[in-house]
Structure 1
Amino acid sequence: MKYKVTPTRQERLMRDDDFIVSKTDLKGRITYCNRIFVEFSGYAESELLGAQHNIVRHPDMPRGVFKFLWDTLEARKECFAYVKNMSKDGSFYWVFANVTPDLDAHGAPQGYFSVRRKAQPNAIAVVSDVYKAMLAEEERAGPKDACDASLALLGSVLKQKGVSYEQLILSL
């Protein structure tokens, strides 16, 4: 079931000891979620289980970030990212996410684990500016080329800073 949610400017702050945990299948459908995920998403566990994980995607998040995430996971690597999520009531919450592929005994992915914790304000300030620029680039490029344009802009930011994506994210 898809919900029509209108974003608000109401921010929800995670507590320092909160960890949002979820597991998805290979298609991104939620197969497990902990009580902190239920709390911050505003959805009932029954609404989350079987739903696409993007049920909490905030429109302020560039599509290119998720393309980068999925490309990294498909390469069987873990990915770190700062993500702005949206609750069922339209409020938002920032997380620092670690997403890893769940590999079987033969190294084949069978799903994905994600653990998210409170994002630090200084990190949010940095990534918000980058994400705004990426969104503007996606809009300029149009739907067909949005992800590629967004990722190209991210690449130029990283080159300008002289760091890799992981170095930037883990330094914040």
Structure 2
Amino acid sequence: MDRRPVPVDQEIKFLADEIIVSKTDLKGHITYTNDVFCRVAEMSASEVLGKPHNIIRHPDMPRAVFKLLWDTLQRGEEMFAYIKNMSATGKYYWVIAHVTPSFDRSNNIVGYHSNRRYPNQSGIQNIIPLYNEVLKLEASCSSPKEGLEKGFALLESSISVSGKSYEEFIWGMVSEDA
């Protein structure tokens, strides 16, 4: 098993017009990355191909966000999310991810495609308190399963209380800066 890097408080930035692209199989193993993915993740294509996409998961990300992501994708729907990733050296980088299922000609899901852009700073600042609250709840539970269930319930209730759909909630994070 690969050793995970220790997170460091140093941000990697990339240009607003750059797009980080990756594709995975049905189990989330990386089948394609572009050069921007490799540069920002500080890994070569040969180091990431065939590996689980969560090799770039930052420990500051609540597991509940990924449950929501997988549930959405497995229904055949796209999802947008603010994600904090971690490079091979432990540095972090935020993205606004647009993740979609990939379909074959018979409309079966055969994998997943993610395009990530540099996010609006107000969106990051607006989502951090919710992510911190969910992460804290997940960690306070007696088992990972209970933590995921309670964290997911908190995430869903926070979105529900806003009176918005999930997408309106996420895109509202950006416009709150105006």
TM-score normalised by length of structure 2: 0.93
Find the counterpart in structure 2 of residue 77 from structure 1: 77
Query: Which residue identity is paired with 1:47?
Result: E
Distance in 1 between residues matched to 2:68 and 2:156, nearest whole Å: 11
Unaligned runs of 5+ in 1: none
Find the counterpart in structure 2 of residue 22 from structure 1: 22
Find the counterpart in structure 1 of residue 171 from structure 2: 170
Aligned-residue sequence identity (percent) comes to: 45
Find the counterpart in structure 2 of residue 155 from structure 1: 156
Deviation sequence 1:98-148 (CA, Å, 0-9, x none): 000001111111100000000111000111111000001111223121121
Corresponding residue SS for 1:9: coil
Using the TM superposition, give the Cα deviation of residue 160 of structure 1 relative to its aligned residue in structure 2, in angstroms.
Answer: 2.3
Corresponding residue SS for 1:59: coil
Query: Which residue identity is paired with 1:59?
Result: P
Corresponding residue SS for 2:15: coil
Query: Which residue identity is paired with 2:164?
Result: V
Aligned length: 172
Distance in 2 between residues matched to 1:26 and 1:74, nearest whole Å: 9
Q: Which moved more, 1:43-52 or 1:144-153?
A: 144-153
Unaligned runs of 5+ in 2: none
Corresponding residue SS for 1:145: helix
Distance in 2 between residues matched to 1:115 and 1:33, nearest whole Å: 10
Would you identify which runs of 4 or more consecutive aligned residues in structure 1 move more than 2 Å?
none
Distance in 2 between residues matched to 1:128 and 1:152, nearest whole Å: 17
RMSD of aligned Cα (Å): 1.0
